[in-house]
Every structure is written in structure tokens, then in C-alpha cells.
Chain A
Amino acid sequence: MRDRETRGLVLMLLPYLFGISVLVALPAIVTFALALYEYDLIRSPRFVGLGNFDELVDDEVFRISVRNSLMFILFAVPLRLAGAVALALLLHRRFRGVGAYRTAGVLPTVVPDVAYALLWLWIFNPLYGPLNLALEALGGPTPRWLTDPRAAQWAVIVMSLFTIGEGFLVALATRQSLPHELYELADLEAAKPWYVFGRVTLPLMAPTLLLLLFRDTIFSFQANFVPALIVTEGGPPPYATTYLPLFVYQNAFEYLRYGYAAAATVSMFLITAAIVYIQYRIVRRWRHAFVV
């Protein structure tokens, strides 16, 4: 009986295992290996050791890309997390039309990336785009979104703030699983909304939010690829919105430097791992506060 159960489980896992080895594990290994070679699809690969990495360190564009990526994460990750939580807290109650609002919250995330990017190209248009029209009507500043370097960097961050559907759903489910008696008690004890948020809701949601934080940090390194490629094309010149994924893409598919691109990918992986490790260390210090 147990053997049959195990066999059944293995059988059901097999398609997934196959997919993950062929589509994820194998390419990852190839990438790691390729980072040590020079390869342009035409000549056969040439082993260069850590040469690619030496070159990366001196590459001005790579350094700008790393800085851009880090700045993007610094602003995008906390804002995305705050947005997901705010949306979840706003929409966790039942009220008329709540389903429509929740769907609206998730929708930008499930729109194909390219369509989403093209839409923002229109929204950000400095002359007739709805964003600047609205800002003008309110008497606010009307930046030249895609041609001013600072504004373009913010534009990419703003674009990322609406694709928080997954984080929103996870936060929503977490909020809904909190026992309602706790909130009734808080009501009876005259706790003010902010007090309840800080003393009850946030600590109880913290384990999930930390998971979302790690996940979003990893994800955000890649989240700016399509916007940077389609909306800002890595500019305004020279490299205001050239992020690591775009750097990799350009080196691989425009300059046909596959080995060099692989080395950049490996660097990106190591930087991500380092950040997540640092986050984890910080979190572990005050983790006892959240253990439930």
C-alpha cells in the first residue's frame, strides 16, 4: 500500500520534475558554465576563466545598470508591498461590488507585459497622455516622463506599482484568516484604527509579509525588463533606465556576447542572493516578536 502510494506520488511529480530540470535547472547550469566562456553563436566557445567578470567590473554600463537596479528595488519593493497590504486591508470586508474592486486590483498583473507597457507609453505621453492632463488640471508639475532621466526612472517604478496582484491576493487571504473576535475585542477595548493596525494586524500578518518581501525582492530584479525595453528603451541617454536584465538582454541578443551576458546574469543572481540574505539576517533579529 505504501509502495503504491509512493509510486503514485513519484508518477504525479514526474512532469513537474521534467519541466523544472529542462526549463530551469539545466539552463541555469549552462548559464553558470557559459559565464566562463566567450561565445557568439558562430565561433565555438572559448574558455576565458573569470575574464568576463574582470571585464564587468570595469564596464561603466554594467556599473550603472547595477546602481539603477538597486535604486529601483529600494523604492519599488517597499512601495509594492505597502500597496498590496493597503489594497488588501481596503478590500477584505464584504461590501457591494467588492468582487469588482478585487478583480480590478489583480487585473494589471494578468495583462500581458507588452500590452501593459504599451498602455503606459500612452499614459506617460507628456502632451496628450492622461497622466499629465490630470496633473495639469490639478496644477501639479508635468514632467517629461520618458525623456527626463529622473522622471523616466520614476516612470518605471510607477509602472511596477500596479502589478501587485499576487501580493495583494496573498495579503488578502492572510487578512481574512485572522480571527474576527480579535477585532471585535479591539473594538470593545476602544482601540483606535492605527493602534489596531500597528499592534494587531501588522504583527499577525508579518510572517506572510516577510515572505512577500523576499519574494518581491527576487522578482523585482526582473520586473523592470519589459518597461525598460519597450517604454524607455534603456534611456533617456545614456543609460538612465538600463537595468541589469536589459543589460543582459542587450549583450546577448544585440551584441551576441553570450558568455559576457551569462556572467552578468550570474552577478545578478549573486546580488539578489546577497540582498535576500541580508534581509533574512535583519529579520531574524526581531523574529521572536512574530513567532505565534
Chain B
Amino acid sequence: MTTGSGGRTVPRERERPGLTPEESALVVRIGVFVKMRWLAIAGVLIASLIATQAFHIQFSLVPIYIICAVMTVYNFLFLYQARHLNVEASDSLPETLAVPLRHLLIIPRATSPLLARARATGNVHIIVDLAALTVLLHYTGGIENPFIFYFVFHVILAGILLHYRVAYLVATWAILTVLLLIGLEYYEVIPHVHLEGFAAAGLYQQGSYILSVLLALSTCLYASAYMVTSISGELRKRQREVVALQQKGLTEKTRELEEASEELTTLEEGRQHLLRFLAIASHDLKAPLSAVQSYIQLMLGGFSGELTDKQRQMLERSSIRITEQLELISDLLDISRIEGGQIVKEMEEMSLSQVVGDSVENVRAMATDKSIKLGTRMPASLPKLKASGVRLKQAITNLLVNAIKFTPENGEVLLRITEQSGDIYTEVLDTGVGIGAEDLPKIFDDFYRGSDREKAGSGLGLSIVKRVVEAHGGKIWAESPNPEDKKGRGSKFTFLLPKNLVIAGKKQGRKARLKSQET
């Protein structure tokens, strides 16, 4: 009666979110069984009609119609129940009934309420179907009817849906039911319906026939139970392994993510700690020197009475040493801040021409003191950048100070900005003493002061410039002698800021349009 090959996957309409593969497979299968029962009902009706009409086998169709009607009704109920499997909260009747069965067969508890409910539902399906098939058999010739072997489908169904012990129980139950039916008919406790024109009249009381059918049926049912349960057991095991693996993978990934985010937090905390520490260190290191320097300036300014030349000279030297020390502290703290990533926070829309102008102003007095010609050349319009204005000013100023420091009186220092295929090039050229070939590769190193140690300075100036440029994703290099100096003197420093810092579409400079027309 129930035809078919079991739990083939049907269209995925019945897959619900949030179900384990095992649960959803079971839900899908219960749906499949409901569909197959419709086919079975149709099959019974068609087979009966063919038997009576085409082969003129004589038997009453009325009981068959009644049984089909009953099956239709309970199949509708099953259909309804299959659609609401995971809706009900409380234990349904089939589940309550399934408990003693579970205890009897020592079946482990289902891993989820939905599984328990689906299995209990399966029990009910099988019991009702078994009963229906038995009654149907009774009205269609009993042992004369070869469809008696259709009990195998119940065993298959149980083997797929339920615990493997249930499959054997169903096989046993089917055999007992058949035995009871045949026995009652054999001893004529209940009337035998003879299929006239199909089987011999006394067949239902022929011992050898009955025994052979029973033997074939029993072996068939038990063998099916064995085959189906071993296959579906294996499948279920695999399914669980897959789920376990997935969950293991998921847990591991989650743990890795948690660890990574913890590390990030620790890093950020460390960074914040460093910056706080630097702010305090900066203040506490500079404050005493500032006070001393202020006193010295007060004395040098004549606010505490006249000074002798000797005193003045000594105070001036002290003042220079303190200034150097303050600069060294500033440089060290700047490096720590840049390394600590503060530069990223300082990046904002800024005007490069303003930075250039400020830097030149910073060193103008120094250049004038040495009668150095300080020139600036840059396009009338420069794009706006997303960069740290403070740090770029520091970088350009450092380069200019360096150039002025190493250029003799009456020399020239030129600051030139150009735009080449979007990148911004900043060049500082001088006509000074230049850099020895052995020094050139090391000038950007920390505390490197070249062979000419007479010049004041911490040796950190250029390494700060390099850090600033690189923090912006740029590059810096130096050439000596200055390739543009006709007498082969001096040096040339170039750094480029990549075009990705440029804020698109924002040009500045009042005469921009005018200039571009001229050129």
C-alpha cells in the first residue's frame, strides 16, 4: 500500500530555518509519507477496479471504498499535523504514547523536542497504516492476495523514520497481525473473502501454502528491516558528524575572533597608555628646563640687574644648551607619538601652500642671519590634502633648517613643490657642503649626525622627517651633490606624498585659473 523508496528529498519547500539537518530531513520525510499515502489510496482504488473490471475477479468493493475513505480522512489529519510539527509546545498524544515504547525498546531520548514529536508521529502513521492494510487484506482475499507483501513498506518506513529497533518491532508486529488474520480466517472465526477467478477456493486453508507465504513474508520483512536500518543508521551517523564538524569549526572561528578582538583592545589600550605617558613625560621633562631657561632669559634681558660680559657669555651658552635639550626632548616625544600612531588622528583636510608658507616663515630669520637666499617655487594651485598639517610643517621646516645649517653664508636654499601624475613632490635644494657618499645611506637613521659633529642638533631631525613622510604613505630620498647645482655642490632632498592623500576636486590658490591660462 504505501509505495515508494522512502526518504528521497523532495523540493525544499519544507525545509525550515533553524532546524538541524537531521530534524529537517525527518520533517521532510513525514511530508513525503503523507504524499505517498495519497498515491497508495489511488493505487488501491485503481488496482481494485482493474481486478474486478479487467480480470473479472469477484469481490465486494464497498469495504474497499470505506477503507479508502477512512485513509483519506486520516491522511488529511496527518497532513495538518505534519505542517504544524514544530508549532505545538506541549507534548501531544502520540508523544505521550511513545514514551512506554521508547522504554520498552531502550531507545535513547531524541536530541530535540521536534525530533521526539516527529518520531512519535511516525509511530502513529505506521500503526494506522498497518491496521488499514490488514483490514484491506481481509476484504481482498487475505492470504490469497499477493499484496500481502506490501507490509515491507511499513518496515522500510519505520527503518527510515524511526529507531532501528522500531523497524524490527514493526516487522514482528506485521507478521503477528498477518498470523492473526490468517489464523482467524483459517479457523473460520471470521469469514474469508475469496477472490473468485484469481485463486483456488481452498487456498486459505492449505497449510503448505500458508507456511511458505508466512516464511517468505517474515524473511522479506526482517531482511528489509536489516537493510534499511543499516543504511539509514549510517546516514544518520554521517549527518550528525557533519553537524558536529560544522559546530566545531564555528566554535573555533568564534574563539579566534574573540581572541583577535581582545588583542586589538589590548593594543589600543597600550597605545592610549603610551600617549598618556608621553603627555605627562613631555610636560614633566620640559617644565623644569622651561623654568631655568626663563630665569636665564630674565637675567639676559637685564631684568635682574646688570651682567658682566663673562656672566652674559656663560648664560648665553647655558641657554643654548638648554634649548638643545628642549629640542631633543621634543624630538624624542615626537618620534614616540608618530610611532604610537597619533599622526593618523591628526590627519585632516589641510592646505599644503599654507604649510609651506608657515615652514618658510619659521626659518626665514635663520636664513637671513646667514645671508642665505631662501627661494620658494610652487604651482599657483595645489590640491587640498588629507594629512597632518602639523607634522608636514615640522618635516619641511626640519629639511629647511638642515639645508640652511649646512649651507655657508651667501648660499642658496630652494624649496620647490611639483605635482607629477597626481603625486606631490617636495624638494629642498641647497648649495651647501653636501653629504659624503659614506654618510648618504645613513642620514635618515636615528641619532645619526654625520662626520661633521660640530653642528648642533640631536641627530633626530631627518629621522622624524622620514617617519612623517612614511606615516603618510610617502617616500623620501636624498642626493648629493645637488644634481641641479652647476658647481656640483650641496644636496637635494625629495619626498613625495602619494596622490591618494589628495582630496579630489579641491584646488586652492587664488590665481589658479589665471596661471593655467598663461601656461
Our verdict on whether A and B bind, yes or no, reads no
Residue numbers of B with Cβ under 8 A of A are none
Residue numbers of A with Cβ under 8 A of B are none
